[in-house]
Chain A
Amino acid sequence: MSQTLSHEDLLKLVDGCLGQGKVVAGPTLVKPDLCAYAALRASDQLVLKDFIHPANSIKGFFFPRHEPICVYRLNGNDVELEDVDPPKTEQIIIGVRPCDAAALPILDHVFNWDYADKFYNERRENTTVVTLACTDYDDNCFCTSVGLGPAAEKGSDAMLLPLGDGGYEVRCFTDKGKALFEGKTTPSDKTGSASEGPARKIDVKWIEEALEDDYENPAWKTISLRCLGCGACAYNCPTCHCFDIVDEGDAAGGLRVKNWDSCQFGQFTVHASGHNPRANQGQRQRQRIQHKFRIYPEKFNEILCTGCGACTRNCPVALGVLNTLEALRAAAAPDTSEVG
C-alpha cells in the first residue's frame, strides 16, 4: 500500500504553504532555457520534469551566497557591535534531486565541527526537503560512484517518485516530511519508479589511496591546464562550503558578512605577507580533489561529493570533478601519454 499525490494536488499544497508565508522553492525556469532552484512566487512556476539536474544546488537555502553576520557602528574610537539573528522563516524545497539532498547531512559535519554555525543550523531546522527521484540521468551524473543513487534517501524528509501518469508516490522519512504530507495523500497500490542510475564510473577507494600516496603527482599540472580558475564549479556544487568574511560599510559603520569563496580563485590562499602557497592552477585543482576525496573523508567519514555533475555542466571548459578523477586514473595507467 503506497501513498500517492497528483501533480495538481501537489501544486495546491505549494500554494497553501506560500499562503502561510513560508518560503517555497524548487526547480523553476529562471530563463526560458535555464532550470535552476529558486524561491517560487506561485505554484505554477514549479518544474518537475524535462530536466536532468537544475543548474545550481540547494545549498544557498542553508548557506546563502551572501549573509550578514554582524552589524558594526563606529562612534569616534568606539565600535558598537550588534549580532544578526538568522531568519526563522520556514522553508520547503520541493523537487530536490537526491544528490542535492544528500549533501546536507554531509555539510552538517563541517558546520558543527569546531563551531556550531547558528545561521546554517537554524535554516536546517526550519527547512523541509522533498526530493524528486530521478527517472533519467546524463553523462555528467555519477551519484552511484559515491554511494548514492537516483532514489537515495540521505538528507531527504520525503520523496516523490514519479508514477508515469503525472502523479507521484510519496514516501515520508522524517517527522517533518510526515507533517507536510499529513492528510494530503491517497492510498494506492501503484508504486513510483526511479532509474537504476549510471554504471559506476570511478573507484573512490582507489582515488583516496592515490591521493594519499602521490601528493606530488606531476599529472596535476597537465590535468588542470584548461582550468580557468573561476568559481562556477564550487558555487554550484552542493557540498562546497568555503567562505570569505568581509566588512562592507563606510565611515559610519557597516556589516560584517560571510560570502561564498572558491579555492580555485588565484587569490584564495594569498597570505598577508604576499606569499601564495597555491600559486598555480595545478596546486589549486589538486587541493579541491584532495579535500573532497581524502581530507573530508578522513575527518568526517563522508566523501565531500554527491556525484551530481553540476561542476561539469557549469564548467566553461567542461572539466569538473568526474573528468579530473578520470584524468588522474588515466595518468596512472602505464602506457598513456595523456596530457591536459
Chain B
Amino acid sequence: MSETNGFEPKIVAYVCNWCTYLGADLAGTNRLEYPPNVRIIRLPCTGRIDFNLVIKAFEMGADAVLVSGCHPGDCHYTAGNYHARRRWILFRELLDTLGIDMNRIHFAWISAAEGKKFQETITEITEKTRALGPYEAYRQLCEASS
C-alpha cells in the first residue's frame, strides 16, 4: 500500500460545531470508518477560525490542515461561513506566496447530514498526505535558530 516506511501523517481539522462536527459524529454513529490520523478541533463556527490557527497547526507539527464548516446559506450564525470564505480566498494567496505547500491545506463544506462526505474527505486527505510525506520544510523553518 504505502512506500513511506510507516509514516503516519498528522492531520489537524478545524471544524465548525453545527455542521462538520455533527457530520463527523454521524460518520461515527453509522460506523463509517475513517483514518485515525485526524485530530478534530471543534469551534463554534468557521467564521471564528483565525488564520493564525492554521499557522499554529503547522508550527506544532501538522502535516496537513483541513478547515471545514457549513455550506453557504446554512451557517448556524447566518453569515459566519461567508466571512470565512472571503478570508480563505485571500489567505490561500498569501500562503502560496510564502511557498507553503498548497497540497497540505484543504477547505471543505461538510454538513451535519454528510457523514459519508466526512469519511471520504478525511480518507482522501490522509492518503494524499501520506504520499506527500511529512511536512519537513515547515518544521525545518521552525527549528532554524536566529
Q: Do A and B come from one complex?
A: yes
Shortest beta-carbon distance, B141 to chain A, in Å?
15
Contact of B60 among A64, A66, A250 (CB under 8 A): A250
State A6–B146 Cα separation when bound (angstroms). Answer: 33
Shortest beta-carbon distance, B125 to chain A, in Å?
24
Q: Which residue of B lies closest to A60 (CB)?
A: B146
Instruction: Provide the residues of chain B in CB contact with A250, threshold 8 Å.
Output: 60
Say whether A65 faces chain B, with CB atoms less than 8 Å apart.
yes
How many residue pairs at the A-B interface have CB separations less than 8 Å? Answer: 5
Chain B: interface secondary structure? Answer: loop
Shortest beta-carbon distance, A97 to chain B, in Å?
23
Q: Which residue of B lies closest to A250 (CB)?
A: B60
Instruction: Provide the residues of chain B in CB contact with A64, threshold 8 Å.
Output: 146
Q: Which residue of A lies closest to B60 (CB)?
A: A250
Instruction: Provide the residues of chain B in CB contact with A66, threshold 8 Å.
Output: 145-146
Shortest beta-carbon distance, A142 to chain B, in Å?
30
Contact residues, B108-146 vs A (CB, 8 A): 145-146
State A252–B22 Cα separation when bound (angstroms). Answer: 30
Instruction: Provide the residues of chain A in CB contact with B145, threshold 8 Å.
Output: 66
Contact flags A230-270 to B (C-beta < 8 A → 1, else 0) = 00000000000000000000100000000000000000000
Contact residues, A266-311 vs B (CB, 8 A): none
Shortest beta-carbon distance, B112 to chain A, in Å?
31
Instruction: Provide the residues of chain B in CB contact with A65, threshold 8 Å.
Output: 146
Q: Which residue of B lies closest to A259 (CB)?
A: B146
Q: Which residue of A lies closest to B59 (CB)?
A: A250
Instruction: Provide the residues of chain A in CB contact with B60, threshold 8 Å.
Output: 250
Shortest beta-carbon distance, B86 to chain A, in Å?
31
State A106–B66 Cα separation when bound (angstroms). Answer: 53
Contact residues, A57-112 vs B (CB, 8 A): 64-66
5 examples of A-B residue contacts, CB within 8 angstroms: A64-B146, A65-B146, A66-B145, A66-B146, A250-B60
Using a CB–CB cutoff of 8 Å, the interface residues on chain A facing chain B are 64-66, 250
The 5 closest A-B pairs by CB, nearest first: A66-B146, A65-B146, A64-B146, A250-B60, A66-B145
